């Protein structure tokens, strides 16, 4: 497929690098065009609007509200996070509350069983809420203090880029695109997969209001620059026009 394609669109530079390493024939055909985010819907909230959003969702005024947004799946890493990091996070942050927002899957699924058993232990259950699928997830972003992505595998996580658009700081494992989106921009912190001590330390770092505010501003600025629908549509149009020009030149050269 890579040999036949005129261009191959990827969502981040890191995706492009991984593809080029795996399929060298694709290297010169790769174009980076980021995902679209609705920047009006996914937008920062502050003051009375944010207070109202938290109140509607049952988030206490003094809660440090952490969101894990995504389907409960093994690749998302929620069970390991609950088992290995959450006890210490709660110990260090008595007002922390973690909200799991996303499809739970079948109750009989082995991973759901593993996750739900870990989350229901007596020392953790009071600090965990499991909300299932949510159609108005943007309301959650606006109410949260931190997005946490403990995943084992991602391409370009929607929770990451939507959280950035809403100005929510993010702590993520070093899944694909995380360092590019968070480390390089200042929108959040990235830790190695399985390094639970580093994740705990990153969450603790986010207790600093000044640091969190800087992450918020950086995330939204990057979202405005990279995920705007109009800008991305223009990039796609330019890419098609370039492919059309190149194909015309190739036909002329072949005559």
Residue 1 is assigned to a structural domain of this protein: no
- With tokens 């899957």, the residue in question is 105
Residues 109 and 74 occupy one common structural domain: yes
pLDDT at 122: 79
CB–CB of 227/34 below 8 Å? yes
Please indicate, yes or no, whether residues 160 and 202 belong to a single structural domain of this protein: yes
pLDDT of residue 250: 54
Residue 70 sits in the same domain as residue 90: yes
**Residue carrying structure tokens 């200042």:** 186
- 172 is a domain residue: yes
51 part of a folded domain? yes
* Residue 66 and residue 34 in contact, taking contact as beta carbons nearer than 8 Å: no
Mean pLDDT of 134-148: 95
DSSP of 65-100? EEEEES---GGGTHHHHHHHTHHHHHHH-TTEEEEE
Output the domain CATH number for residue 205: 3.40.50.2000
| DSSP bridge partners of 96 | 64
Q: Where is pLDDT greater, at 39 or 155?
A: 39
Give how many domains the chain has, as a whole number. 2
Q: Are residues 108 and 92 in the same domain?
A: yes
Q: At 162, is the pLDDT very low, low, confident or very high (cuts 50, 70, 90)?
A: very high
- The answer to whether residues 110 and 52 belong to one domain is yes
What is the per-residue pLDDT for 2?
A: 67
Position 22 in a domain? yes
Q: Is the pLDDT of residue 205 over 90?
A: yes
Which percentage of the chain shows pLDDT scores above 90?
86
pLDDT above 70 for 251: no
Regarding whether 220 and 243 lie in a shared domain, the answer is no
Report the pLDDT averaged over residues 140-162.
Answer: 96
**Is 237 part of a structural domain of the chain?**
yes
Same domain membership, residue 192 and residue 103: yes
246 in the same domain as 134: no
Residues 200 and 87 in one domain: yes
Exposure of 28 by Cβ count < 10 A (0-12 exposed, 13-18 middle, 19+ buried)? exposed
Position 247 scores a pLDDT of: 73
**Same domain (yes/no): 20, 66:** no
Q: Which structural domain, as residue segments, surrounds residue 123?
A: 47-225
Whether residue 101 is contained in a domain is answered as yes
Residue 3 lies in a domain: no
Q: Give residue 153's pLDDT.
A: 94
Q: Does residue 111 sit within a domain?
A: yes
Same domain, residue pair 233 and 158: no
Same domain flag for 213 and 174: yes
Helix (H, G, I), strand (E, B) or coil at 147: strand
State yes or no: pLDDT of 229 exceeds 90: yes
């Amino acid at each position: 497929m890579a040999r036949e394609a005129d261009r191959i669109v990827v969502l981040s530079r890191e995706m492009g690098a991984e593809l080029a390493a795996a399929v060298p024939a694709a290297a010169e055909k790769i174009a980076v065009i980021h995902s679209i985010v609705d920047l009006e819907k996914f937008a920062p909230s502050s003051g009375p609007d944010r207070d109202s959003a938290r109140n509607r969702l049952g988030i206490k005024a003094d809660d440090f509200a952490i969101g894990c947004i995504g389907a409960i799946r093994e690749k998302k890493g929620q069970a390991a996070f609950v088992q290995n990091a959450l006890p210490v996070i709660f110990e260090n942050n008595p007002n922390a509350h973690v909200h799991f927002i996303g499809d739970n899957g079948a109750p009989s699924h082995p991973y759901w069983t593993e996750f739900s058993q870990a989350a229901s232990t007596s020392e953790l259950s009071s600090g965990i809420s499991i909300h299932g699928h949510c159609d108005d997830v943007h309301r959650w972003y606006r109410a949260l203090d931190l997005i946490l992505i403990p995943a084992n595998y991602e391409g370009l996580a929607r929770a990451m880029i939507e959280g950035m658009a809403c100005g929510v700081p993010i702590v993520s494992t070093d899944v694909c695109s995380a360092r590019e989106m968070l480390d390089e921009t200042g929108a959040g912190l990235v830790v190695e997969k399985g390094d639970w001590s580093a994740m705990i330390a990153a969450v603790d770092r986010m207790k600093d209001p000044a640091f969190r505010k800087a992450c918020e501003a950086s995330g939204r600025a990057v979202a405005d620059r990279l995920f705007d629908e109009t800008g991305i549509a223009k990039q796609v149009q330019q890419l098609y026009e370039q492919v059309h020009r190149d194909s015309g030149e190739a036909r002329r050269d072949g005559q």
